[in-house]
Chain A
Amino acid sequence: MADQPTATERFIQGILPENPVYRQLLGLCATLAVSNNMKAALTMAASVTFVLLCANVVTSLIRNLLKPHLRIVVFTLTIATFVTIADRFLAAYLYQMSKTLGPYIPLIIVNCIIICRCEVCASKQSVFTAASDAIGQSLGFALALSSIAAIREILGTGMFFGLRVLPAAWPDWVIMALPPGAFLTFGLMLAAINWISSNK
C-alpha cells in the first residue's frame, strides 16, 4: 500500500483537484436541491461534514475487521447512524432549518461522496489519513455548494445570507431560485472550471 496518498495529499486533493462535486460529480441530488440560499447550503455542508468525518473515522478504526462482501452493509449502517443523529440534532436546535431541508438530510445516507470516501480511503488507510481526507472532501463539498448557492441567491432574490445586496431595482430572476436555475448554474460552473483547468 505504498502508493496510497498521504494525509496531506488526501486533504488537498479533496478541496480542488478531486472536488467531490465539480470533479467527481458526486452528491448532486443535495447540491441541486439545497443550493438556492446560503444558509441552507451551509447547514447541509455542515451536516455532510459531520457525517463524513464520523463515518470515515469509524470505518478506518474497524478496517481490519471488515469482510470484503459485507463492507457495504457496514458502511451503510455506520453512515445511517450518524445521519440520524444529525437529523435529530437539527430538528431539536434548528427546527425551521430542518423543515426547510426536509428529506435531504436523511438522503445523506445514500450520498455517494460518503460511501465513496469510506470505500476509497477509510477502509484502507489510518484514522488520521481518513479524518484529513474527510475534512478535505467536506471543504470541497462546502466550497462547491456555497459557490452555487451564492450565485443562485444573489441573482434569484437579490440577497446574500438573507440580506439585500443588489439594488431594489434588480428584477429577481426567479428561475435561479427554482430547480432549473440549479442545473443552469451547475452546468455553467462545471464548464468554466473545466475550461480553466484545460487552459493551464
Chain B
Amino acid sequence: MMMESGRREIKDSPGMLERIKKNNLVQGWLVLLLALFFGSALASVQLSLGPKIEMNKLNETLSKVPELVLGASRAHEMEAKNQELGIEAMTIDVNKNNKRVLYNVYKTTYNGEITGWVVKTGGQGYASKLELLIGLDPGMESITGLFILAQKETPGLGNKIITEKWRKQFINKPTKNRLVVVKDGADALNEIDAITGATISSRSVTDILNTAISDLKGQLISGQSSNR
C-alpha cells in the first residue's frame, strides 16, 4: 500500500508541472502583458488627444447649428447678409427612472426671439456609437433638421444614415407621436423609411431621436432649464 501511494506521488509531480505549463494564463502571459502595455499607451493617447477631438466636434456642432434650425437655404441667406444667430449652450439635467441624464442643448436666438433648439445626443447604432444633432422649432413641435456628428457604421449600408436624402425625411415631422421606422415605404406622418439592408442603423437613429425629444420636450418649454 505504502509503495503504491509513493509511486503515485512520483507520477503526479511532473503531471502538476505539465498542468501549470498548459494553464491558459501561463500560456498567454505575453498576450496579457502586451494588452496591459498597449492599454496604457492608448489611455495616454486618449488623454492627450481627447480634448482636441472634442474641440473639433464642438466647432463642427456650432457651424451646423444655424442650418439645423433654419434649414440650409435660410441659413445661407443669413450668412450672406452677415446676420448671425445667437447660440447659447446649456446642459439639461433630466431625471429618468431615478437616473440622471445630461443633454447638451443649444438655444438659438435672433433679435431676442427664440428661433429654435439644437439637441446633441447619442446612443448605440449597429456597429458603433452614434452622435446626433437634432434641430427643433421654438415650440419643440416639429423637427427642423438632423445631422450625424459621429458614426462608424458599415460602409455602403449603415453609413448611408449620413446622406442628405435619408436625413431629409425627418425635416418637418411633428414631435407629437413617436417616429416609427418602416420597411415598405413611409406613408403616414410619423413614418420613416428604413435604409435597405440597414434597418438597425435606421432604427437606432430614430430611437435616439425619439428618446431625446420625449425627455426634453417638457423641460425646455416650461423653462426649467439651468444655464451652464
A-B contact count (CB 8 A): 62
Stretch at the interface among A38-46, A89-97, A127-135, A189-197: A89-97
- Cα–Cα, bound, A33→B155 (Å): 9
**A110 CB within 8 Å of chain B:** no
Q: Which residues of A contact B127 (CB under 8 A)?
A: 103
Q: Which residues of A contact B35 (CB under 8 A)?
A: 77
Query: A92 and B56: CB pair below 8 A?
Result: yes
Query: A103 and B31: CB pair below 8 A?
Result: no
**A73 CB within 8 Å of chain B:** yes
Which residue of chain B has the shortest Cβ distance to A85 in the bound complex?
B45
Interface size on B, residues (CB 8 A): 25
- Cα–Cα, bound, A62→B151 (Å): 35
Query: B52 and A85: CB pair below 8 A?
Result: no
- Cα–Cα, bound, A91→B53 (Å): 6
**A78 CB within 8 Å of chain B:** yes
Contacts known (A88-B53, A92-B49, A92-B52); A77 close to B153, Cβ less than 8 A: no
B110-151 CB contacts (< 8 Å) to partner A: 127-128, 151
Closest chain-B Cβ to A31's Cβ sits at a distance in Å of 13
**B84 CB within 8 Å of chain A:** no
Among B27, B38, B53, B60, the residue within 8 A (CB) of A92 is: B53
**A104 CB within 8 Å of chain B:** yes
B4-38 CB contacts (< 8 Å) to partner A: 27-28, 30-31, 34-35, 38
Query: A88 and B152: CB pair below 8 A?
Result: no
Q: Which residues of B contact A70 (CB under 8 A)?
A: 27-28, 30-31
Which residue of chain A has the shortest Cβ distance to B39 in the bound complex?
A81
Query: A81 and B42: CB pair below 8 A?
Result: yes
Contacts known (A77-B31, A77-B34, A77-B35); A106 close to B152, Cβ less than 8 A: yes
- Cα–Cα, bound, A88→B41 (Å): 13
**B177 CB within 8 Å of chain A:** no
Query: B38 and A95: CB pair below 8 A?
Result: no
Closest chain-A Cβ to B150's Cβ sits at a distance in Å of 8
Q: Which residues of A contact B214 (CB under 8 A)?
A: none
**A116 CB within 8 Å of chain B:** no
Which residue of chain B has the shortest Cβ distance to A104 in the bound complex?
B155
Max chain B Cβ within 10 angstroms of own Cβ: one of A70, A92, A107, A179: A92
Q: Which residues of A contact B27 (CB under 8 A)?
A: 67, 70
**B159 CB within 8 Å of chain A:** yes
Q: Which residues of B contact A89 (CB under 8 A)?
A: 45, 49
**A102 CB within 8 Å of chain B:** yes
A48-95 CB contacts (< 8 Å) to partner B: 62, 65-67, 70, 73-74, 77-78, 81, 84-85, 88-89, 91-93, 95
Among B30, B41, B53, the residue within 8 A (CB) of A74 is: B30
Q: Which residues of B contact A66 (CB under 8 A)?
A: 30
Among B28, B38, B41, B153, the residue within 8 A (CB) of A103 is: B153
- Cα–Cα, bound, A62→B30 (Å): 9
Q: Which residues of B contact A78 (CB under 8 A)?
A: 34, 38
**B154 CB within 8 Å of chain A:** yes
- Cα–Cα, bound, A175→B163 (Å): 18
Which residue of chain B has the shortest Cβ distance to A105 in the bound complex?
B152
Contacts known (A65-B30, A70-B28); A77 close to B49, Cβ less than 8 A: no
Interface residues of A (CB under 8 A from B): 33, 62, 65-67, 70, 73-74, 77-78, 81, 84-85, 88-89, 91-93, 95, 102-104, 106-107, 179
Query: 21 A-B residue contacts at CB 8 Å?
Result: A62-B34, A66-B30, A67-B27, A70-B30, A73-B28, A73-B31, A74-B34, A78-B34, A81-B38, A81-B42, A84-B42, A84-B45, A85-B41, A88-B46, A88-B49, A89-B49, A91-B49, A91-B56, A95-B53, A102-B152, A103-B127
